[in-house]
A and B are shown apart, each in its own frame.
Chain A
Amino acid sequence: MKFRVERDVLADAVAWTARTLPVRPSVPVLAGMLLDAGEDDGRQRLRLSSFDYEVSAQVSVDIDVDEPGRTLVSGRLLAEIVRNLPPQAVEISTDGAKVVVSCGSAKFTLLTLPVEDYPTLPAMPELTGSVLSDAFAAAVSQVAVAAGRDDTLPMLTGVRVEIEGETVTLASTDRYRLAVRELTWTPQDPGVSAVALVPAKTLADTAKSLTSGAQVSIALSTAGSGEGMIGFEGGGRRTTTRLLDGDFPKYRALLPDSFNSVAEVQKSEFVEAVKRVSLVAERNTPLRLAFSDGRLVLEAGAGDEAQAVEVLDASLEGDDIQIAFNSTFLVDGLNAIESDIARLQFTTSTKPAIITGKPVDDGASDYRYLIMPVRLSS
């Protein structure tokens, strides 16, 4: 194998691929990065791949190939080396069991790993459609915040992706809150219908890392074909992720549709106030909110402990309400909405509340964050 490539192109590609390298590989070859130089669709391309059995990453860049070939080298080492190369053309070639990287006056030799032991990368499922990369990354981060981190309930560590025609619905919950986001996309088949449960952390990382291209293609094997993979592709980068199995809660029934009170509060002031007041709240003690005409009183702490009170302006339609929340969950929800004004909808102090942004034209909000109140004794 022998090829030349621009330093910056290589550095970007290697750094991106290296993100998926396992920190503690279960078998040594997984610490390797696969380099495959050759023709791809009539162009001379280098494909870099990494795989940890759950997530695979592959990026393809333009190169000048002298001699096609495949080799496996230590991924972290390659990333470290490439990051420090001077800004000149890089030549990479194999020499027996070694790979030589030269760039200007710098020269490195890397030992190769057994390429025949390297697991076969999963094939990309069939293309299902595409979405704007920035919008997708934003939507995923809004939802992923509510995903569970408890491995004993694996289905709650995922984001449920529901595709129905031109609408994609993302949802996740950890049983204390639930985030739902709808967005439109461009499916290949307008009648498409599919669901998948994608590990939340992987999905968030992936969505964020694919914003270099304008569009992200999403490839999902249709229900029943048993592939168990979802693939994302954008800007020459593609990743696949193993899907989670298990039944996601039927969350739509949980979202209330009628409310007794609706409050609106300036978001940034609200977040600041919550953070300040909750300083005195011990772990797991709630933050109490009292909405009445024109104002919101935030309180935390009780009895002999330190106490804090803060008053904010707030508009309220409907009944006065007193309700208590876990302050971290409340801040997560407020930070996730896109509008400057947070709208909170309540039924009673023991029923879940919904946080949304104030819609621009009084339509329905495409993001809803459901939060369970903490029951107050007396």
Chain B
Amino acid sequence: MLVVMSVFDDLVGQDTVIEQLRSAARAADGLLAGSGGAGMTHAWLFTGPPGSGRSEAARAFAAALQCPDGGCGHCSSCHQVFSGTHPDLLYVRPSGLSFGVDKTRDLVLRSASRPTGGRFRVVLFEDADRATEAASNALLKAVEEPSPRTIWLLCTPTAEDLLVTIRSRCRLVTLRTPTTRAVVDALVGRDGVAPDLAAEAARASAGHFERARALAGDPAARRRREEVLAIPARLDGLGACVTAAARLYELAEAEAKETTGALDEQEKADMRAAFGEGSTGKGVAKAVRGAAGALKDLDDQQKRRATRIKRDTYDLALMDLVAFYRDVLAIQLGARVELPTADRDADLRGVARSSTPEATLRRIDAIMECRRRIGANVHPQIAMEAMTAALYTG
């Protein structure tokens, strides 16, 4: 295990952003010391494609703002930011599909209080694009004119995902897709993954670091991906389409269940332990019963998150399919680019030969349409059947 020297060490392939954030954190220090604090501002918007590490970057910045050493990575302040318990950090992770206006009002209220540690009150809002329109409007005033020591860090995939009125008040931090090289280095250097496996996972994930880490660390995830990528070559009739859709749905469900189950159990165990479970003697039972309310809250939150994780998992499978057809298109057009799905070379070439670039584009559109339908609450399996049929007809 490497010794963490700075809170920014965990960001993969984001050197420009790190420099920007470091200098802002220095300016923030200046602000506290009473100078002008040029280079620092009260609202930041972290954008970047999935897997580029938006919230990781925002969290590192939050740690740098709270740490008297500009983000040393090993003081108690940095540790508390990373474990999510820092008293002056409001960590907002919308657990459901959307983030409502009531919760936003509560957030705005709490963001207005002054910091207890003498530095900053930082609000880190992951997936701020999940805020509903009413919620965004409630947020606007607070982002526009926060209390003197309050700093907003919002994360969205692209700047267009936020109301233009909020966007215009934020300084933009644009993360880029890390290069395959950077992902491989991080996997090998930090997680101790074997170089071959790391290279394969990095290429397959096309710059999505967390995905690469999951593929490298979990053989089951690799198997599921293989199975998804095998689908296009098997679509030789409507029967196969229906079977493939059913299988796709089943795979995503299984993956979601696995992710959710592990998370849920750990969180519940932590909460019960905080109320004294596992201790012995008279009074333990009574104290543990006190956890009922907290566990109920946690349960509701987990249910909302489960729905969201399912959606995210369907999306992951569908994006693997998109990657496949993108590679088909690259072959058809003779583009010399890295192919994330090069491990299915025979399939790629087979599909490329038997269809036209126009058909490939229509197929990609069909997958995107399927994502949109799932987002609009169509039953996923039905949406996937429609999609596989469209992939078959081309």
Contact = CB atoms under 8 A, between A and B. Distances in A.
A113 interface: yes
A50 to B, nearest CB: 12
Interface residue SS majority, chain B: loop
Given A74-B274, A84-B282, A113-B273, A227 B79 contact: no
Contact of A116 (B76, B147, B148): B76
B113 A243 contact: yes
Contact of A117 (B83, B275, B281, B287): B83
Contacts of B293: 23-24
A366 interface: no
B156 interface: no
Contacts of A56: 116
B118 interface: yes
A243 B114 contact: yes
Contacts of A29: 85, 274
A242 interface: yes
Interface stretch (A75-83, A136-144, A330-338, A351-359): A75-83
A235 interface: no
A240 B113 contact: no
Contacts of B224: none
B280 interface: yes
Given A76-B287, A120-B76, A28 B148 contact: no
Interface string B95-127: 000000000011001001111111000000000
B379 interface: no
Contact of A245 (B113, B277, B283): B113
A275 to B, nearest CB: 34
A236 B77 CA distance: 27
A31 B286 contact: no
Contacts of A151: 106, 109
B118 A123 contact: yes
B290 to A, nearest CB: 5
Interface centre among A74, A76, A123, A242 (most CB of B within 10 A): A74
B278 interface: yes
A227 B80 contact: no
A87 interface: no
Interface in B118-172: 118, 147-149
Contact of A228 (B106, B115, B286): B115
A249 interface: no
B113 A117 contact: no
Interface string B265-285: 000001101111111111110
A226 interface: yes
Interface residues on B, range: 35 or more
A277 to B, nearest CB: 39
B87 interface: yes
A51 interface: yes
Interface in B264-320: 270-271, 273-284, 286-288, 290-291, 293-294, 297
A118 B79 CA distance: 10
Given A31-B274, A228-B114, A53 B87 contact: yes
Interface in A234-263: 240, 242-246
Nearest to A114: B83
Interface stretch (A104-112, A176-184, A298-306): A104-112
A152 interface: yes
Contacts of A318: none
Given A84-B283, A152-B105, A245-B147, A113 B117 contact: no
Interface centre among A77, A109, A114 (most CB of B within 10 A): A77
A69 interface: no
Interface in A1-52: 23-25, 27-32, 51
Interface in A50-66: 51, 53-54, 56
Contact of A120 (B80, B83, B290, B294): B80
29 contacts: A25-B294, A28-B271, A28-B274, A29-B274, A31-B271, A31-B291, A32-B274, A53-B87, A53-B116, A56-B116, A74-B275, A74-B276, A77-B283, A79-B287, A81-B287, A84-B283, A101-B281, A106-B281, A111-B277, A118-B85, A119-B87, A120-B76, A120-B80, A122-B117, A226-B149, A228-B113, A229-B114, A242-B113, A245-B147
Interface of B: 76-77, 79-80, 83-87, 105-106, 109, 112-118, 147-149, 270-271, 273-284, 286-288, 290-291, 293-294, 297
Interface pairs A-B: 5 shortest CB-CB: A228-B114, A77-B276, A108-B281, A122-B116, A74-B276
